[in-house]
Amino acid sequence: MKRRNLGWLLLGSLISSSAWADMQLNMTKGVTDVSQNVYELHMLVMWICTVIGVVVFGAMFWSMIFHRKSKGAKPATFHESTKVEILWTAIPILILIGMAWPATTTLINMEDNSNSDITVQVTGSQWKWHYKYFDQDIEFYSVLSTPKSQFDNREGDNGEKWSNENYLLEVDKPLVIPVNRKVRFLITSDDVIHSWWVPAFAVKQDANPGFINEAWTLVNEPGIYRGQCAELCGKDHGYMPIVVDVRSEVDYELWINEQKIAMTKAAEAEAQSLTAKLPMEELMTLGEQTYAAHCAACHQPTGMGLPPAFPALKGSEMATSADKLGDHINVVFNGRSGTGMQGYGKQLSLKEIAAVVTYERNAWDNNTGQAVQPADVKAAVSGNDGASISDAAPAAAVEEAVAVETAEVSLDDLSMDELMSKGEAVYNTSCAACHQASGAGMPPAFPALKGSPIATGDVNAHISMVADGKAGTAMMGFAAQLSPQEMAAVITYERNAWGNSTGDMVQAKDVAK
């Protein structure tokens, strides 16, 4: 009797949903309604498969044991049974419908990002995440902060390697969102394909360069939730974690205010650094730290690189030639298209860029003796010929930048054919990824332009939208990227393509106003 009760107790514990949820080998419930719906779907399908397996294999083994030839069993002689065929067709159909109905409902809900309270753009970059809050004008990079000694110890275990329980899942700046508010994510990439995955939210969305995918979450419980890039994005794919800090609404508002204060102080410090003359020792110390955090993964701590993808800096012409100093600064600041070298102008301060360039030009026996100052970086990337680069002015780079900056902008009128031809080219390059080549858009994040009020209504509102963007949406301003003539052309194209046919011709002088 006691054994029977124990058996029922064990069976009950196995069937219990909470017991399954606590198992480390099972899917977790997560902290959102969607993630819990996904968990329930998982358990439903698992139990259906379990019952089917028990029935099918049970019947098979029963027949093998009790209807074997050695017991004198005689095989049936019937060939077909219409009733049986109808049953084994109808029953699987009903089972599939029973699984498809809740699965379809959950999938539709996962794609419904309407009525969101907060919009965050998530951009994947080798090997970090960039977060931009559209409604708060806050943006920052989130980078792995696990010490290198814990994951790059090639000399043997030094006692540190596994001391961190969140091994490879720590970042310097987590994404912060409030509890009980719907957050929409616009996910893209600026280099290769990444994938933003947070299991506790049941959110896993690819980040494709040139495209924007959408996801959303509404978290019910404050806490720290971790994920990582789920797409093989390069040699350091495993060093691209995601940390989301979900806070109460009060704490979230406090964090927003803290970020704005920090941004103001950073801007003040940046301005002060332009008039400072930093000693070589300070530049080398900061430069070594910056290099270890952002450059060593590709160019190696020894500066030997990983040719041909990541060239050596030790003894290289770029890092040792006085004539190449301006190019060196520009490569660090702006990156180099067509290579794995990304720009750090938006990630590092002018002081940090000056320090890391100084370090690269004096470490590993390069010994150029050049101390690059923040003002030098500003001069090299802005074409300010009023400031000189310490010890070696890159004349060609500065002259070219000044020429671009002072070049006269063309405001000549173009014909309709010229505007449409140029506008189509600009649209395909800068707009089609979001609004589609057909102008149909990807609502609600990217509304259609075909037949839209913005493309068929007030032309000045249209110009303002393209030039300045629209706060709180994914629409960025293009005034800093396109010339007035290019903006005039693309606006003309949008107002006359896809059957819009307004007949409006926007000229560069209209945009320049």
Summarize pLDDT for 435-454 with one digit per residue, the tens.
Answer: 888 888 877 767 889 999 99
Predicted confidence (pLDDT) per residue in 143-179, tens digit: 888 876 676 655 555 555 555 678 889 998 999 999 9
Q: Minimum mean pLDDT among 16-30, 71-85, 354-368, 392-406: which range? A: 392-406
Mean pLDDT in residue range 234-239: 84
CB under 8 Å, gap of 24 or more: what pairs does 309-314 form?
A: 309/339, 309/340, 310/340, 313/360, 313/364, 313/366, 314/363, 314/364, 314/365, 314/366
Work out the widest C-alpha separation in the chain, in whole angstroms. Answer: 106
- Percent over 90 (pLDDT), the chain: 37
Mean pLDDT in residue range 65-92: 85
8-state DSSP, 322: G
> Where does residue 56 rank: exposed (0-12), middle (13-18), buried (19+ CB within 10 A)?
exposed
Return the pLDDT at 293: 79
Distance of CA 258 to the CA centre of its chain: 24
Residue 188, SS3 per DSSP: strand
Residue 202 has pLDDT above 50, yes or no: yes
Return the pLDDT at 403: 39
Q: Minimum mean pLDDT among 52-56, 103-107, 315-319, 432-436: which range? A: 432-436
pTM: 0.63
Return the pLDDT at 472: 60
8-state DSSP, 347: T
* Number of residues in the chain: 513
What does the buried/exposed string (b/e) look like for 315-349 if buried means 16 or more CB atoms within 10 Å of the residue's CB?
A: ebebbbeeebbbbbbbbbbebeeeeebbbbbebbb
- Of the candidates 393, 301, 306, 391, the one whose C-alpha atom is nearest the C-alpha of residue 341 is 306
Is 136 in contact with 147 (CB distance < 8 Å)? no
Confidence of residue 14 (pLDDT cuts 50, 70, 90): very low
> Where does residue 206 rank: exposed (0-12), middle (13-18), buried (19+ CB within 10 A)?
middle
Main-chain phi, psi angles of 276, to 5 degrees: -90, 155
User: CA–CA distance from 346 to each of 147, 185, 313, 339, 473 (Å)?
Assistant: 23, 21, 22, 18, 21
